[in-house]
Amino acid sequence: MSAPIVTLVTSPQLPQLDDDEAGLPDALRERGMEPQVKVWSDPDVDWSASDLVVVRSVRDYAGRRQDFLKWAKSVPRLLNQASVMEWNSDKHYLAELAKRGLPVIPTVWFEPDREYSKHQVHTRFPAYGDFVVKPAVSSGGRGTGRYTATDGRSRGEAIRHAMHELARGRSVMVQRYLEEIDRSGEVSLIYLNGLASYMVEKEAMLHPRFRSADEVQEDVVRSSAANEEEWRWGEEIRQALHGYITEKNGRDELLLYNRVDIVRGGPEDAHEFYVMEISLIDGSLYLSADPNHLAKFADAIAMRAFW
């Protein structure tokens, strides 16, 4: 029996994968697979020759979303599945999660076809505290800025940011910045093949001095097993996600990887936690934060490749 060919998908900017995933090909090889790394937009790749295609460092998908989704729908044995990635590639999915009862940060949505004036954008921003402006379709926090509502200069920058995105036909979302992020950071819960696998804690990514996340890196503070409470929160989110997938597709899908980002609710918040994001496309799985993470992901891929 020949070794199954597993193709790891990346982008032209990262032809050998992200640094966090550099050890993945060797880990797959050690488990009896034949790994290869290919760029999703390379027209010369025969995707049907692979036994399994795993999407990873596709950092450019947001700027070419329709091309990327067309490609994804054409690839056999793709993980995660194309229909799932289509939903996850636009952060309007947060509104769907809110409808299903999950505690999502209240969001104001600006749609490009509404042709808002600067004044209309200004009046829809929060009146106090810090807030975040970002496009609804983005990857890795790109195009994200944190601003202060009561500072005139900062508010003006936020207006220009939103108008810049809208002028380019992009939907924009505005969310209150949760101060609890500065105190306790974010939590990422990683699920592999539907099972709770590991957790990492991260420091705040958007400090007030940053106007954009384009040059900001997340810092992993700690990698450890989540406590019962955190996995309970993650399970609530996971069940809502799979409920939506089943409703949309008529069947559930076993996701190879699922990263759930949450932040704990503060002492004055009505919720124990808030959903920050669900990453089913190119979100980091923090494989280099702990050798066990890399081993677990390689094992998860092997399970699907030898299925």
Give the tens place of pLDDT for each residue, 179-192. Answer: 888 777 789 999 99
Residue 300: inside a domain: no
pLDDT tens digits along 233-248: 999 999 999 999 999 8
In this structure, the answer to whether residues 39 and 52 fall within a common structural domain is yes
Residue 299: inside a domain: no
Residue 289: inside a domain: no
In this structure, the answer to whether residues 124 and 159 fall within a common structural domain is yes
In this structure, the answer to whether residues 183 and 276 fall within a common structural domain is yes
In this structure, the answer to whether residues 189 and 276 fall within a common structural domain is yes
When mean pLDDT is compared across 24-33, 71-80, 221-230, 234-243, the lowest value belongs to: 221-230
Taking residues 94-113, report their average pLDDT. Answer: 93
Taking residues 246-259, report their average pLDDT. Answer: 93
Tokens found for residue 161? 């940011």
| pLDDT on residue 202 | 84
Q: Which residues are within 8 A (CB) of 82 and not within 5 positions of it... i.e. 6 or more apart?
A: 69, 72, 73, 75
**Counted domains in the chain:** 3
Residue 305: inside a domain: no
Q: What is the largest CA-CA distance in the chain?
A: 67
Taking residues 271-279, report their average pLDDT. Answer: 91
Q: Report whether pLDDT(93) > 50.
A: yes
In this structure, the answer to whether residues 184 and 119 fall within a common structural domain is no
Tokens found for residue 142? 């790109």
| pLDDT on residue 228 | 85
Distance from C-alpha of 260 to C-alpha of 280, rounded to nearest angstrom: 9
Percent of the chain clearing pLDDT 90 (strictly above)? 78
| pLDDT on residue 141 | 74
| Of 111, 123, 92, residue with least CA distance to 167 | 111
| pLDDT on residue 219 | 54
Taking residues 117-144, report their average pLDDT. Answer: 92
More confidently predicted of 197 and 249? 197
Residue 188's domain comprises 98-104+179-280
Q: Burial of 304 by CB count in 10 Å (0-12 exposed, 13-18 middle, 19+ buried)?
A: middle
| pLDDT on residue 269 | 72
Check which CATH number belongs to the domain holding 120 and give it.
Answer: 3.30.1490
Going by pLDDT thresholds of 50, 70 and 90, the confidence category of residue 210 is: very low
Check which CATH number belongs to the domain holding 22 and give it.
Answer: 3.40.50.20
